[in-house]
Structure 1
Amino acid sequence: VVEFATYSDMKNAIDKLDDTELNGRRIRLIEDKRRS
């Protein structure tokens, strides 16, 4: 779980990192739609 300071930061991370490889493993980033 990762928390971002802003919605824009989160969207940038998803756009750049979703479905990429990290240490030989495919990673997926998804937005948590739940509100706390």
Structure 2
Amino acid sequence: MEQIGAGLAALGVIGPGLGIGILTGMATSAIGR
């Protein structure tokens, strides 16, 4: 159970981080054009 909890916690932290990274990546690529 602890490993599952740690996995969920990691997803909770990494998930939004990936979303922000994708948004910033799209924004920078759009500005680059």
TM-score range, shorter chain: 0.3 to 0.5
**Which is richer in helix?**
2
Q: Which has the higher contact order (CA 8 A, sep 6+)?
A: 1
TM-score (norm 1): 0.36
Compute the TM-score of the two structures, normalised by the length of structure 2: 0.38
